[in-house]
A and B are shown apart, each in its own frame.
Chain A
Amino acid sequence: MTELRYSKDHEYVALDGDLATLGISDYAQSQLGDIVFIELPEVGKKVAKGKEIAVIESVKAASEVYSPVSGEVVEVNPELGEAPALVNDDPLGRGWLIKVRVSDPGECASLMDDAAYSSFLKTI
């Protein structure tokens, strides 16, 4: 199990070599409430740190997800089309969003580890 890193926008990255699995944190899914649709990017799309990579629709509203890293999308979670609520049920596991081949693994260094993210949540 690789260590998770979090952005201040509540996305997480699990980096394994240069392959990053991206999703939203448990806090983020609980704040969004029931998720009913997720618009994911296409495989091959170039993503840049801080740019929109997905849109999550809850019952109430649409929320943009920003990429915490730069690179190229190599896989999107195929289960989310039929079962977007997986992001509510298991955000760090089966509810991952996309996998990105990162162009600069060093970008992850600026993200928060578990302890720092927990402290950050207490300030919200």
Chain B
Amino acid sequence: MTELDVATAAPPALARLPLDAVHRRLGARMAPFAGYEMPLQYEQGIVAETLHTRRLASLFDVSHMGQAILAGARAARALESLTPADLASLSPERTRYTQLLNENGGILDDLLVTRLPGVEERLLLVVNASRKQADFALIRAALPQFDFNPLDRALLALQGPRAASVLGALLPGAEDLPFMGWRAFDFGGAPLFVSRSGYTGEDGFELSLRAEHAEDLARLLLSYEDVAPAGLGARDALRLEAGLPLYGHDLDETTDPVEAGLGWSIGKRRRVEGGFPGFERIRLALEQGPARRRVGLEPQSKAPLREGAELSARDGEAVGHVTSGGFSPTLQRPIAMGYVASNDAKLGATLSAPLRDKRVDVTVAALPFVPHRYFKTPAGKDAR
């Protein structure tokens, strides 16, 4: 068998997560990812961990991601020079999703930006692990007049329909945070940043705290009957089911936010004013529609289609390719996403792709495959 060699060959220079020992005690199978030894799955396996997240709640260690604070007067306005989001209007304790763009409007990374409370203007950034060095270098070079400090903190994600009741029991008030809201709590005398966000399509939280306190928090959360550990494999299955793009696969420097289906994250003011890299290309794509689109794909086969598979129209013309593909534990069938020429990307259109020595039909489908269940603040409560 072939894949085994990949899974067992551990290059020496991998970094370890602060909770490495906890993962190993929990029976994790570790695998290299973005320079870290990451828990790929625990004893339950990817299918059971995915289903547990959709039914109850799972704890993920995402400490490999980059966290940093950009501080200084008008820092949000300054960061707009690198991103298309409206960051200047971001209220304290609120989070917004955006992308760092290159001069062609291509995506250098996608990230979350939170405006921290306080008199001084401070932004908390969470970026992808594989891109953090490049992102930090870019921001430092582009915005030298601001304080920019990477944070050495662990990052845990508690995701699933029971996440709010569990976290609320531990940190009263956390269950009332709005979607994309943020608050600092006290955890044993140490600040714990709680953001109501995640990348699974479920309600949930991302929890940032100093590494030395992370094990205590993980143990406490795992002591709840509803909470089980879940690895990178389940996280990937969950985000694909939720139609969420993964950097390095569905997003890269050759894709712009409009064709990637992320136009919603471009601020209204920014569409008019511009002032971010690649504005011309993005303005045109917004006006005329992009030449290609990221779409959901349903292979009409039992075998999953994988990243890289070429997509053809009925007449055989190449019209796109798969950027993420796998098996959906929730739907119990193969699902995929990829880029397809806009003319061929109508919902329900039939394309085809090679699968080893055969061809399979592939139906263009709406995203997400599994509906999002983000928290909605009850009517009458202030959602800001």
Chain A residues within CB distance 8 Å of chain B = 9-11, 24, 28, 31-34, 36-37, 39, 55-66, 81, 124
Contacts and interface: CB of A to CB of B under 8 A. Distances in A.
A31 B327 contact: no
A63 B7 CA distance: 11
B302 to A, nearest CB: 5
Interface residues of B, number: 25
Contacts of B8: 31, 124
A9 to B, nearest CB: 5
Contact of A37 (B7, B29, B304): B304
Interface string B283-315: 000000000000000000011101000000000
Contacts, number: 74
A23 to B, nearest CB: 11
Given A37-B303, A57-B304, A62-B306, A24 B3 contact: no
A49 to B, nearest CB: 15
B2 interface: yes
26 contacts: A9-B1, A9-B2, A11-B1, A31-B3, A31-B7, A33-B29, A33-B40, A34-B45, A36-B327, A36-B334, A37-B302, A39-B356, A55-B356, A58-B3, A59-B46, A59-B326, A59-B327, A59-B329, A60-B46, A60-B236, A61-B306, A62-B3, A62-B303, A62-B304, A63-B3, A65-B1
Interface in B25-51: 29, 40-41, 45-48
A64 B3 CA distance: 8
Contacts of B334: 36-37
Given A9-B4, A62-B304, A63-B2, 10 more contacts: A28-B1, A31-B8, A33-B46, A34-B46, A36-B334, A37-B302, A58-B3, A59-B326, A60-B233, A61-B306
Contact of A33 (B233, B236, B304, B356): B233
Given A31-B8, A36-B304, A36-B327, A24 B1 contact: yes
A45 B302 CA distance: 22
B41 A57 contact: no
B304 A32 contact: no
A36 B46 CA distance: 11
A55 B357 CA distance: 12
A102 to B, nearest CB: 20
Contacts of A10: 1, 4
B237 interface: yes
Contacts of A81: 302
Choose among B302, B329, B334 the residue with the greatest number of A CB atoms under 10 Å from its CB.
Answer: B302
A124 B30 CA distance: 14
Contacts of A9: 1-2, 4
Contacts of A56: 1
B215 to A, nearest CB: 26
Contacts of A37: 302-304, 327, 334
Contacts of B40: 33, 60
Contact of B47 (A31, A32, A59, A63): A59
Nearest to B9: A124
Contacts of A34: 45-48, 329
A82 to B, nearest CB: 10
A59 B233 contact: yes
Contacts of A61: 3, 306
